[in-house]
Amino acid sequence: METIIINDTNLQDGDIHKVGNKVRAVLLRDNNILISHYGGIVLLPGGSIDKGETKEDAIIRELEEETGIIYNREELEELLTIKYYQPNYPTRDNKVINRLIITSYYLSNYKGIDLNNIKRTDKEQKDNFRLELIPVEKLLTQDVSNNPRREYFDRELSEVSKELRKLRIWYSLFLRYNIYVE
The domain ranges of the chain are: 2-177
Which of 3, 4, 11 is closest to 100 using CA atoms? Answer: 11
CA distance 38 to 58: 19
Per-residue model confidence (pLDDT) at position 179: 53
SS3 164: helix
Q: Are 108 and 25 in contact (CB under 8 A)?
A: yes
Confidence (pLDDT) at 84: 97
Give, for all 182 residues of the chain, the pLDDT tens digit: 789 999 999 999 999 999 999 999 999 998 889 999 888 889 999 999 999 999 999 999 999 999 999 999 999 999 999 999 999 999 988 999 999 999 999 999 999 999 888 888 888 888 888 899 998 888 877 666 778 888 898 899 999 988 888 776 555 555 455 555 55
Length reported for the chain = 182
Q: Burial of 176 by CB count in 10 Å (0-12 exposed, 13-18 middle, 19+ buried)?
A: exposed
CATH number of the domain at 2-177, out of 3.40.50.460, 1.10.3720.10, 3.90.870.10, 3.90.79.10?
3.90.79.10
State the pLDDT at residue 14. Answer: 95
Residue 18's φ and ψ, nearest 5 degrees, are -150, 135
